[in-house]
């Protein structure tokens, strides 16, 4: 109880002084002997986490077992990280699970790094092999992030890369074959300063990339579909991962740069029964709600509702660009022709549909795209836009808070 009170006081202090808070967690949960006092102590910490949410940067590092109600504090901070082989997070341990459900499970299987940071639950934002590597990674992450929602605390580094330099290798990264995959991370690294980024949840929902990087020394948040996983389709995991990341960027005044190559949402009963409509709505809501600078680059495909969702001009995107050969359509040519012409003269109508619709010019003519740009000019153009948008102000409708479809 005394320790909980100390943590609560420190959280209140850093909140009022606009300083960041890093918590190192190792706890077996509430002390049974203390009764409701221990529960009250945990709840006090939770309330402080909520009060500080969106005000100061909160990071949790789980460096040992974290069990019981104590797991909710790391879950409510902005980022939580785990250490391989030593970190565990679960509401109830294996012994209680065995007693209640008669299920035999190990600590690692129940709440180890393979569960929370390895792509299953998505609770943790990253894992590291040991304590030293974890601490080093935290220092790297802090180089990108502000201490609080005060824009003056945003990280600014010396500009060493020439923002006007053309990156010619970008012209060769997207294959000519529209069905051949490529790694979106290669494009992202070419655009960012020093070719480096700090990826968030790299093992979870790999079909979308969320990362921090810098352009002209200023931190940006990166969101990008990754064609090498799930054919770059959006699914439940990707929607949750990206929407939470974007809401963090919006809270802390970090511009969002989105790289789009998406044929739509993943099909099937598993996704529909799992609530892809509701989870996809979170992603749409997060993009629409964000008031920070939003820049979008479509590298190859933007189909159907996924085009709308991925920071389109209709969701108040500030600058929307496409690379030559990109397609912005309701659906792929073959599928559209099968529906419209009911299978008659498929090859002929597919060619006509492709020539007429499967290009960026129709969207550009209607003002949905700002420009068709050469890939090697992408970095220069984004830097120019970010410079212009630093003073962006958005008038919002007065309300208590929005109601995102959780």
What are the catalytic residues? 68-69, 305-306
Contact of 211 with 199, CB cutoff 8 Å: yes
Q: What is the dihedral of CA 64, 70, 73, 75, to 10 degrees?
A: 70
Nearest to 21 by CA among 33, 34, 7, 31: 7
Residue 134 burial class via C-beta count within 10 angstroms: exposed 0-12, middle 13-18, buried 19 and up: buried
Question: How far is 370 from 378, CA to CA, in rounded Å?
Answer: 13
Asked if residue 313 lies in contact with residue 364, where contact means CB atoms within 8 angstroms, the answer is no
Helices marked H in 33-178: 36-52, 72-76, 94-101, 107-111, 113-116, 131-142
Residue 126, both tokens: 């990253």
Tell me the two tokens of residue 348: 């002929």
- Tokens at 369, concatenated: 């795209």
Token digits of residue 353 = 């549909």
Q: Report whether 382 contacts 295 (CB < 8 A).
A: yes
Q: At what angle do helices 236-251 and 276-289 cross, to 10 degrees?
A: 20
d(CA 336, CA 346): 10
State in Å, rounded, how far the first CA of the chain is from the last one: 32
């Amino acid at each position: 109880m005394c320790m909980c009170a100390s943590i609560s006081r420190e959280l209140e202090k850093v909140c009022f002084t606009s300083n960041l808070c890093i918590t190192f967690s190792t706890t077996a949960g509430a002390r049974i002997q203390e009764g409701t006092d221990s529960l009250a102590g945990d709840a006090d910490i939770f309330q402080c986490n909520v009060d500080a949410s969106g005000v100061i940067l909160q990071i949790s590092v789980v460096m040992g077992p974290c069990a019981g109600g104590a797991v909710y504090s790391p879950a409510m901070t902005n980022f939580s990280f785990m250490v391989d082989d030593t970190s565990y997070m679960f509401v109830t341990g294996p012994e209680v699970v065995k007693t209640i459900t008669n299920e035999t499970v190990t600590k690692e299987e129940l709440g180890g790094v393979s569960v929370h940071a390895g792509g299953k639950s998505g609770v943790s934002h990253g894992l590291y092999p040991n304590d030293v590597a974890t601490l080093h990674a935290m220092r790297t992450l802090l180089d990108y992030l502000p201490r609080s929602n005060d824009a003056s605390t945003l990280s600014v580094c010396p500009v060493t890369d020439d923002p006007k330099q053309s990156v010619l290798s970008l012209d060769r990264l997207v294959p000519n074959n529209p069905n051949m995959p490529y790694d979106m991370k290669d494009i992202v690294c070419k655009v960012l300063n020093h070719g480096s980024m700090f990826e968030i949840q790299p093992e979870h929902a790999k079909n979308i990339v969320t990362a921090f990087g810098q352009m002209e020394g200023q931190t940006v948040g990166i969101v990008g579909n990754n064609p090498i996983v799930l054919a770059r389709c959006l699914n439940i995991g990707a929607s949750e991962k990206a929407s939470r990341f974007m809401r963090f960027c919006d809270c802390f005044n970090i511009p969002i740069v989105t790289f789009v190559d998406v044929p739509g949402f993943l099909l099937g009963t598993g996704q529909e029964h799992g609530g892809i409509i509701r989870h996809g709505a979170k992603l749409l809501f997060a993009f629409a709600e964000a008031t920070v600078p939003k820049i979008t680059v479509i590298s190859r495909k933007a189909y159907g509702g996924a085009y709308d969702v991925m920071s389109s001009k209709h969701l108040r995107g500030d600058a929307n660009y496409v690379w030559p050969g990109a397609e912005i359509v309701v659906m792929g040519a073959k599928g559209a022709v099968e529906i419209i012409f009911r299978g008659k003269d498929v090859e002929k109508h597919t060619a006509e549909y492709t020539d007429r619709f499967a290009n960026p010019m129709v969207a550009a003519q209607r003002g949905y795209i700002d420009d068709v740009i050469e890939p090697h000019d992408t970095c220069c153009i984004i830097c120019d836009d970010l410079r212009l948008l630093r003073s962006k102000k958005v008038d919002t409708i007065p309300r208590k808070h929005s109601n995102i479809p959780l």
